[in-house]
Structure 1
């Protein structure tokens, strides 16, 4: 999916390549810097943004519905989808899907408009959960996308970028994320963690995962070059994935834990211990 400026409205930029710091057991991924001010409600730029995100989210969902796998001999997984959307090419790998998700996530974040960011990010995160459960996994790309979603959710819940501490646009006079949105995010976190664990446990890897070369690692991972033909072998691979699973939405969980505490309604309970 190519992200390019729209002919009208002038809002949607081409996201710059993500600044990514990666180690063998970490995939911290930076989000692009958002607009300084939220989009004006009802304005032409907001309308252009909504059309763009709706169109690309639908395209991602359709490509997923028409996905193929080697086990299916190149046939569409969801046969009903093969008879419609003739102009849509299904995903052949999780790597392809993650690339589209990453680009759309960047556009949503750049909008700097919490009232649009949170619902769209929830929809995108729900798709990622389905993607993890429905495709052979590419751990490197999967964890990178999940880290960016974690960064985005945790920052919106706090009203500040959790990495830089910078206040986010749109939170100056806003009450913040709604209780309903917080409950939906918590449910997504739980579902995604289960899906990631089951996906890695199945051992079914994306064909585009193993052939990655050191040059590709250097380009994609901010200069990381790993020694050896297979640095994630045996027990080391298992331990690395266990640590990654533990970090899925970890910062979001911290923010939810603080924001979903029960309000004081005058009931006094005895402390334990």
Structure 2
């Protein structure tokens, strides 16, 4: 797909994101991918309890080069990101309060489920990814991941949208830290071995968000229940049957797995960080 010139859509730069959540692909049973490719995956949500579930991973095409520092296109991207994050925070705040005003503007109503929040986060993350501009991407993605981590407990657990957005954020972070796609090893636009995209301070923050997200997620996940009739098992049964694990459980155990495996004990909290959107 050809790259879009930075100013080709200038007439639309000030238009706020439409409140039309991205819809997940229809649910289909699918085995985990074994092709080792970084092409977008078409796996969809859990259907059969006999098959592990793999979340869809759709990675948008990037520009051929980062936006020039100080350019009009970069300024516009920062503005669009700030507007998107402000709107996500506003809708999430109203979700936590459990209320809307009677004159709520379209696209600013409270979130009613984790899927709506995940859709807005994904749309903003994809916008950042398409820009191929790490000076804005990294801080923007850290802010989005932090919002998601703090918001998990607001909604009932919903495996498919939650694990799908966490898988995408994990992929974006690991790719930016390595400067290349993790399996195809295709370099990212503008990569420079002497100037990593992600600072040590940013790595510490990413690791902290990843660890807290895992902890919060495990605390709220429903655990498999023993059969209610388990007490009526035959006396000659040696051991009770283990409860059947849900198809998403394996993926839940891999939340931010790539990031945490790469970072390990890395991180220098004394190094100065970059610009953060709040």
Report the TM-score, using the length of structure 1 for normalisation: 0.69
Return the offset for 1:85.
8.8
Name which of 250, 255, 274 aligns with 1:248: 255
Q: In the alignment, is residue 159 of structure 1 matched against residue 183 of structure 2?
A: no
Q: Does the Cα contact within 8 Å between 2:17 and 2:84 map onto a contact in 1?
A: no
Partner of 1:260: 266
In structure 1, C-alpha distance between the alignment counterparts of 2:54 and 2:255, rounded to whole Å: 11
Note the 1:1-273 alignment, pairs <5 A.
Answer: 7=11, 19-22=40-43, 24-67=52-95, 77-78=96-97, 86-87=104-105, 88-172=108-192, 174-201=195-222, 235-237=244-246, 240-257=247-264, 260=266
SS of match in other structure, 2:60: coil
TM-superposition CA deviations, 1:69-95 (whole Å, max 9, x none) = xxxxxxxx426x757994331011111
SS of match in other structure, 1:236: coil
In structure 1, C-alpha distance between the alignment counterparts of 2:75 and 2:65, rounded to whole Å: 16
Q: Would the alpha carbon gap of residues 261 and 98 (structure 1) be closer, same or farther in structure 2, given more than 3 Å must change?
A: closer
Q: Which moved more, 1:191-200 or 1:167-176?
A: 167-176
In structure 2, C-alpha distance between the alignment counterparts of 1:250 and 1:242, rounded to whole Å: 14
Return the offset for 1:254.
2.2
Q: Would the alpha carbon gap of residues 261 and 184 (structure 1) be closer, same or farther in structure 2, given more than 3 Å must change?
A: closer
TM-superposition CA deviations, 1:142-182 (whole Å, max 9, x none) = 11100100000000110101143110112225233111000
SS of match in other structure, 2:62: coil
Q: Would the alpha carbon gap of residues 78 and 42 (structure 1) be closer, same or farther in structure 2, given more than 3 Å must change?
A: same
Q: Which moved more, 1:29-38 or 1:187-196?
A: 29-38
Unaligned runs of 5+ in 1: 68-76, 204-233, 263-273
In structure 2, C-alpha distance between the alignment counterparts of 1:138 and 1:85, rounded to whole Å: 30
TM-superposition CA deviations, 1:94-144 (whole Å, max 9, x none) = 111111111111001111011111100000000111221221122101111
Q: Would the alpha carbon gap of residues 241 and 261 (structure 1) be closer, same or farther in structure 2, given more than 3 Å must change?
A: same
- Work out the number of aligned pairs and report it: 214
Unaligned runs of 5+ in 2: 1-8, 25-39, 45-51, 225-242, 269-278
Which is helix-richer, 1 or 2? 1
In structure 2, C-alpha distance between the alignment counterparts of 1:8 and 1:157, rounded to whole Å: 31
In structure 2, C-alpha distance between the alignment counterparts of 1:35 and 1:199, rounded to whole Å: 38
